[in-house]
A = this chain, B = another copy of it.
Amino acid sequence: MTRLTRAEQQRRTHEHLLAAGRQVFLRRGFLAATVEEIAADARYTRGAVYKHFGGKEGLWLAIIEADADGHLRGLREALAQATSRDEVIAALNPVDVADKDAAKWSAAAAEVLAATAQQPETAALIAAIQRRHDDEVASLLAEHTRRLRLEPAMPLDQAVVMLGALGIGLALRQTVAPAADPAAILTHVLDTLFPPYTREP
């Protein structure tokens, strides 16, 4: 095995801890997850978690920031390739909304949001990550709906907040009553959000 430089080792530790954090938050939820369990899962010490992320909240923030970036990259690519209204809708419809892990992840996210009602500093950090993501999505949508001459049924900045809120709300309901069909509901909402006619050129 090639010897790693110190920077490479650090980056690797960072990635391992992010991956272990995801697993443990998914398994336990946010509140019940402990730095001990995350460190043990990644086969590092608790100290490594504190050194890299400052603690459990910092690790959570790093994960949702990485996820927001990943979602944005995927969306940018899918929208760049979209040539029709249906492809815009498909790009926005998360493939995993009915997925059990997605529902559990949203439940963990809801726990964090509920808990941060009492913690203005964490709330501000989460809000900043969310706002940056939402602004980018709105500006991508503005670009591509213009290109494809689509006429959204509501202002795009509100549409983005709406889709995010609906996604987490549907996932939360899934954890309690998996009877509803969240994918069908999202498809209907996206259908009405981008009515099937195009602007006059």
| A interface with B by C-beta (< 8 Å) | 29, 31, 103-104, 107-108, 110-111, 113-118, 123, 126-127, 130-131, 153-155, 158, 161-162, 164-170, 172-173, 175-177, 179-182, 184-185, 188-189, 191-193
- Docked-complex contact B167 and A114, CB < 8 angstroms: no
Q: Are B130 and A177 in contact (CB under 8 A)?
A: yes
The 10 closest A-B pairs by CB, nearest first: A165-B169, A169-B169, A127-B177, A154-B188, A107-B114, A110-B110, A192-B192, A111-B114, A117-B175, A165-B170
What would 10 A/B residue contacts be, using CB atoms closer than 8 Å? A107-B113, A111-B111, A123-B176, A123-B177, A130-B176, A154-B192, A162-B185, A164-B169, A167-B169, A169-B169
Contact A113 to B176, CB < 8 A, known contacts A154-B185, A185-B154? yes
Q: A29-B115, A131-B177, A192-B192 are in contact. List 11 more A-B contacts (CB 8 A).
A: A107-B113, A107-B117, A110-B110, A111-B114, A113-B172, A117-B175, A131-B179, A153-B191, A165-B182, A168-B169, A168-B172
Q: Is the interface of A mostly helix, strand, loop or mixed?
A: helix
Contact B175 A162 (CB under 8 A): no
Copies assembled: 2
- The one of B158, B165, B179 that contacts A172, using a Cβ cutoff of 8 Å: B165
Q: How far is the CA of A172 from the CA of B127 in the complex (A)?
A: 12
B166 to A180, Cβ gap below 8 A?
A: no
* A164 interface neighbour in B158, B173, B181, B192, Cβ under 8 Å: B173
Q: Which of B107, B115, B161, B180 contacts A185 (CB 8 A)?
A: B161
